[in-house]
């Protein structure tokens, strides 16, 4: 019992778990864009940073309550998502990837050069508002929202776009509009994640939101299993914790992390839970258990 | 009364290639009209023009007395034209039922807000969508396979799912692009019954097909395309004997030798 309490109150573990939760929110946003709608975005961290800076500046300068500035951060990211999505979602596949990659770099450079964001030395003085409780409330809400979206007329239209865009369009789906909506929702959650991040770290630096962070979030989604919520959660948890667990090997840490990814791509190219319908699997397991108990 | 669909002098050029050259034809309500012609004659291009995937260089497409030339595909579906594809374009990793449900898309209204709060209106709509989808699957005798993933079905069944998906959009006009391609004689026979069943539902059908037995026994009228031009039109029995049609299919030399 004491050991459990120890883990629960250990500030290091709490910090790590809070970070996992914050990453989860961003990853679930990207899951909607990439996993469900099939649009590759390589600039997700840029939207996280937009949400982070927007909400941080609002709490610092306007002293807005945290909930409001968090929502504002999400909306700011979504607005940028729509502005970027409108021209670039007309493109498909590689081109969209390249556009979002470029956008990610632009955002980073803009934040480095703006006075109000503190430039390259970063933004300080953000009040600490985030705690593990708030983060996991938002995580649960995000999962619930994603689940509802996926199992609706709206979500079906998004999966149709992922599977075959031309067929989706001839089945009566306004594909551009739906892609933009999906992008807006996905980037909204990126912004929320950023707001939580800003109010946890109390310090923001553009370097934290570079290409490598975007790629990390994409890894969470792809390695967990594209198009699956449990997959995205598993991917995020495993890949966020792996570097922490690998701390004992010190400088070989990132090497092993890289090797881990190579092996995963070889043995589970569709991701850990790719092509696995967890709900269906659970149901069939339960049914089998019942049969066994009856006999 | 004017026809349901009128193609008026449609020309479409891809660079130097003239894919359709002044093609005009009508599709009357509740008829089965077939479009035939050798490979590359422009049959699928006609379909792509009608459904809005291509915009013609000149000419007009009139559907129920409204000009629909150059409209976006999803708007055309909304007006009541549904289609299947020559090379099956199902949503492969989704269940058969979901495929068909997506076909209902343009008749629904629920958006993001509805998805999140699932108010009674949304639930009622979902119920209608489910009912409609099951009806459409019933027409093609695939109700029993609704839970399967589309990619796990046989080729013939996949073609039938495509038809069900198109039917789910409540079409007035159904375009079938080579529905019998790659099917064995038995599957073709089943398909023929299904097309007749769909016709009895009051849906007008325009089909492209290479299988002449299939075309001749189903259609009320046959239009023949060759090199982007319409070369013949009439009831199946007449078209079969048309010298130009025979020449298009067999080559002019063969016709000359025979006569």
Q: ipTM more than 0.95?
A: no
A163 to chain B, any CB pair closer than 8 A? The answer is: yes
Burial class (CB in 10 A: 0-12, 13-18, 19+), B24: middle
Q: Is B106 on the interface with A (CB under 8 A)?
A: yes
Read off the pLDDT band of A254 (50, 70, 90).
confident
pLDDT-based confidence at B257, cuts 50/70/90?
low
Question: What are chain B's domains?
Answer: 1-80+173-259 (3.40.50.300), 90-170 (no CATH)
Side-chain-side CA neighbours of residue B221 (13 Å): 15
> Does residue A139 have a pLDDT over 70?
yes
Judged against a pLDDT cut of 70, whether residue A106 lies above it is answered with yes
Per the model's pLDDT, the better-predicted residue between A118 and A49 turns out to be A49
Which residues from chain A sit within 8 angstroms of residue B90, using beta carbons?
163-164, 167
Q: What percent of chain A has pLDDT over 90?
A: 59
| B61, pLDDT greater than 90 | yes
State how far the Cα of A139 lies from the Cα of A66, in Å rounded to an integer. 17
Residue B131 pLDDT = 94
Question: Which regions of B116-160 does DSSP assign to beta strands (E)?
Answer: none
CB B85 to CB A159 under 8 A?
no
A167 touches chain B (CB under 8 A): yes
Q: Which residues have a Cβ under 8 Å from the Cβ of B56 and sit 6 or more positions away?
A: B10, B11, B12, B20, B49, B69, B70
Domain count, chain A: 1
Q: How confident is the model at residue B253 (pLDDT cuts 50, 70, 90)?
A: low
**pLDDT given at position B258:** 61
Q: DSSP class of residue B234?
A: E
- Decide if pLDDT at A190 tops 90: yes
The predicted-structure confidence for B71-91, as pLDDT tens digits, reads as follows 999 999 999 999 999 899 999
What distance, in Å, lies between the first and last C-alpha atoms of chain A? 39
CATH number at residue A41: 1.10.3470
Residue A134 has a pLDDT of 94
Contact A270/B at CB under 8 A: no
- Percentage of chain A lying above the pLDDT 70 cut: 98
Q: What is the pLDDT of residues B131-181, one digit of tens each?
A: 999 999 999 999 999 999 999 999 889 999 999 999 999 999 999 999 998
Considering only CB atoms, A171 lies closest to which of B77, B93, B116, namely: B77
Average pLDDT, chain B: 90
- Judged by CB atoms closer than 8 Å, whether chains meet at A156 and B101 is answered as yes
Residue A52 tokens, joined: 């982070």
pLDDT for position B68: 93
- pLDDT tens-digit profile of B205-245? 999 988 888 898 899 999 999 888 888 898 988 888 888 88
Q: Report d(CA B174, CA B189) in Å as an integer.
A: 19
Higher pLDDT, A75 or A264: A75
Chain B residues with beta carbon closer than 8 angstroms to that of A181: 112
The full 3-state SS of A32-58, as one line of letters, equals HHHHHCCCCCCCHHHHHHHHHHHHHHH
Phi, psi of A78 (to 5 degrees): -65, -40
Token pair recorded at residue B85:
């594809």
Q: Tell me the C-alpha to C-alpha distance, in Å, between residue A209 and each of A32, A45, A49, A114.
A: 20, 5, 6, 15
State whether residue B209 is helix, strand or coil: coil
Closest by CA to B23, choosing from B231, B173, B208, B174, is B231
Residues paired with B206 in a beta bridge = B33, B175
Q: Give contacts of B169 with chain A, Cβ < 8 Å.
A: 171-172
HSE (CB half, 13 Å, CA atoms) of A45? 25
Q: Residues 141..170 of B with a Cβ closer than 8 Å to A: which?
A: 165, 169
Q: Are strands B17-27 and B173-177 parallel, antiparallel or unpaired?
A: unpaired
Residue A102: left (phi > 0), alpha (psi -120 to 50), or beta? alpha
Cβ pairs A/B, distance under 8 A: 98
Measured torsion, CA atoms of residues A165, A168, A174, A179, in degrees rounded to the nearest 10: -50
Q: What is the pTM of this model?
A: 0.90
Contact, B1 vs B64, CB < 8 A? no
Q: What is the pLDDT at residue A4? A: 74
Is B259 a residue whose pLDDT tops 60? no
Q: Using 50, 70 and 90 to split pLDDT, how confident is the model at B256?
A: low
| Cβ B235 vs Cβ B47: under 8 Å | no
Distance from the Cα of residue B20 to its chain's centroid: 18
Nearest to A125 by CA among A40, A46, A179, A198: A198
In this prediction, residues A125-144 reach a mean pLDDT of 93
Residue B116 has φ and ψ, to the nearest 5°, of -80, -45
For B2, the enclosing helix (H) or strand (E) is: none
Query: Which one, of A234, A231, A261, lies nearest residue A246 by Cα?
Result: A261
| pLDDT value of residue B254 | 61
> Does residue B255 carry a pLDDT above 80?
no
- Spatial distance between the Cα atoms of B81 and B56, rounded to a whole number of angstroms: 17
Check CB contact under 8 Å for A171 and B169.
yes
Chain B residues whose CB is inside 8 A of the A185 CB are: 112
- What does the mean pLDDT of chain A come to? 89
Q: CA separation (Å) from A62 to A57, A59, A234?
A: 8, 6, 38
Place of tokens 């989604």: A221
Mean pLDDT for the stretch of residues B42-57? 92
Interface check A185 vs B, CB under 8 A: yes
The phi and psi torsions of B26 (rounded to 5 degrees) equal -115, 150
**pLDDT (tens digit per residue) in B181-191:** 888 899 899 99
Asked if pLDDT for residue A1 goes beyond 90, the answer is no
Alpha carbon distance A156, A142 (integer Å): 18
CB contact under 8 A, A167 and B106: no
Would the CB atoms of A159 and B94 count as touching at under 8 Å? yes
Q: Which domain holds residue A270?
A: 2-294
């Amino acid at each position: 019992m004491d050991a459990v309490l120890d883990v629960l109150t250990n500030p290091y573990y709490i910090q790590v778990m809070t970070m996992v939760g914050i990453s989860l929110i961003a990853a679930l946003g990207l899951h909607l864009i990439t996993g469900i709608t099939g649009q590759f975005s390589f600039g997700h961290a840029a939207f996280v940073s937009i949400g982070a800076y927007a909400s941080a500046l609002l709490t610092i300068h306007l002293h807005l309550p945290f909930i409001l500035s968090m929502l504002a951060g999400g909306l700011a990211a979504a607005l940028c998502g729509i502005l970027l999505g409108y021209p670039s979602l007309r493109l498909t596949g590689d081109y969209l990837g390249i556009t979002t990659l470029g956008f990610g770099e632009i955002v980073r450079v803009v934040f480095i050069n703006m006075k109000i964001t503190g430039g390259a030395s970063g933004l300080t003085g953000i009040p600490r508002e985030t705690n593990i409780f708030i983060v996991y409330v938002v995580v649960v809400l995000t999962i619930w929202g994603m689940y509802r979206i996926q199992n609706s007329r709206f979500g079906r239209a998004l999966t149709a776009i992922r599977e075959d865009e031309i067929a989706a369009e001839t089945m009566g789906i306004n594909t551009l509009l739906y892609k933009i909506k999906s992008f807006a929702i996905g980037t909204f959650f990126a912004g929320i994640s950023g707001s939580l991040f800003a109010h946890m770290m109390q310090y923001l630096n553009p370097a934290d939101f570079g290409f490598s962070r975007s790629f990390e979030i994409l890894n969470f989604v792809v390695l967990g299993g594209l198009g699956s919520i449990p997959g995205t959660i598993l991917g995020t948890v495993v890949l966020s914790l792996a570097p922490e667990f690998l701390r004992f090997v010190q400088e070989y840490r990132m090497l092993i992390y890289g090797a881990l990814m190579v092996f995963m791509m070889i043995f589970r190219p569709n991701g850990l839970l790719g092509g696995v319908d967890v709900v269906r699997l659970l149901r069939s397991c339960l049914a089998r258990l019942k049969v066994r108990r009856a006999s | 009364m004017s026809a349901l669909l009128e193609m008026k002098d449609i020309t479409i050029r891809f660079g130097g290639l003239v894919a359709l050259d002044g093609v005009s034809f009508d599709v009357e309500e509740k008829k089965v009209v077939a479009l035939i012609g050798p490979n590359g004659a422009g049959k699928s291009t006609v379909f792509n023009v009608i459904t809005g995937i291509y915009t013609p260089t000149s000419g007009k497409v009139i559907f129920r007395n409204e000009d629909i030339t150059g409209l976006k595909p999803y708007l055309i579906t909304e007006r009541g034209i549904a289609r299947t594809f020559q090379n099956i374009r199902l949503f492969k990793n989704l269940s058969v039922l979901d495929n068909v449900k997506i076909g209902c898309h343009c008749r629904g209204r629920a958006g993001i807000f509805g998805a999140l709060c699932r108010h009674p209106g949304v639930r009622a709509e979902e119920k209608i969508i489910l009912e409609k989808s099951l009806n459409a699957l019933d027409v093609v005798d695939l109700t029993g396979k609704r839970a399967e993933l589309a990619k796990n079905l046989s080729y013939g069944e996949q073609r039938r799912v495509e038809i069900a998906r198109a039917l789910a959009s409540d079409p007035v006009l159904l375009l079938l692009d080579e529905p019998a391609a790659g099917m064995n004689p038995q599957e073709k026979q089943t398909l023929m019954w299904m097309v007749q069943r769909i016709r009895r539902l009051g849906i007008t059908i325009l089909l492209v097909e290479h299988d002449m037995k299939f075309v001749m026994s189903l259609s009320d009228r046959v239009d023949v395309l060759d090199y982007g031009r319409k070369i013949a039109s009439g009831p199946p029995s007449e078209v079969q004997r048309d010298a130009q049609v025979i020449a298009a299919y067999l080559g002019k030399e063969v016709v000359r030798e025979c006569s």
